[in-house]
Amino acid sequence: MASRLNPYIAFDGDARAAMEFYREVFGGDLVINTFGEFGAPESPDADKIMHSQLETPSGYTLMGSDTPQGMDYTRGTNVSISLSGDDSDELHGYWEKLSEGGTVSVPLEKQMWGDEFGMCTDRFGIAWMVNIGAPQS
């Protein structure tokens, strides 16, 4: 897959309703996964959305999730830019440049779902998420 750039929206417990609404607006295929499905079945966030992705007939991609307990949520500043794909060298290069002089909140490293993932805020205050797909066997 080529690298992809799209918005990623954080919600305060209503990600499922919001993403289903956006599917009604734009059409397309919506995939929703909870924190419980990804290794946290006993967590108070188990039923919250860890990741959702809407692929529309027009070629738009919209991603979103609920904000887990312990993380700040501020309405109006809850949109990040997501970079994802499987070109490890390209995406690592973007990560290095975006995080330089900024703040890394989640180091770019392997996650429980198998991909490399990191979050940072660049030196201009823009929030970024980078996800590098695990090689398919």
pLDDT tens digits for 92-108? 999 999 999 999 999 99
Nearest Cα residue to 129 out of 120, 104, 9: 120
Residue 1 confidence (pLDDT):
65
Instruction: Work out whether strand 79-85 and strand 4-11 pair parallel, antiparallel, or are unpaired.
Output: antiparallel
For residue range 28-67, what is the model confidence (pLDDT) as tens digits? Answer: 999 999 999 988 788 899 999 999 999 999 889 999 999 9
Residues 6+ apart with CB under 8 A from 81: 5, 6, 7, 8, 126, 127, 128, 129
**Gyration radius of the chain over CA positions:** 15
Residue 39 confidence (pLDDT):
82
| d(C-alpha 133, C-alpha 51), whole Å | 15
Tell whether the model's pLDDT for residue 89 goes beyond 90.
yes
* 16 sits in which H/E element: helix 15-26
Kindly write down the DSSP assignment for every residue of 121-135, as one continuous string: E-TTS-EEEEEEPPP
Residue 137 confidence (pLDDT):
65
For residue range 100-129, what is the model confidence (pLDDT) as tens digits? Answer: 999 999 999 999 889 999 999 999 788 999
Phi, psi of 95 (to 5 degrees): -55, -50
The DSSP 8-state label assigned to residue 38 in this structure reads: G
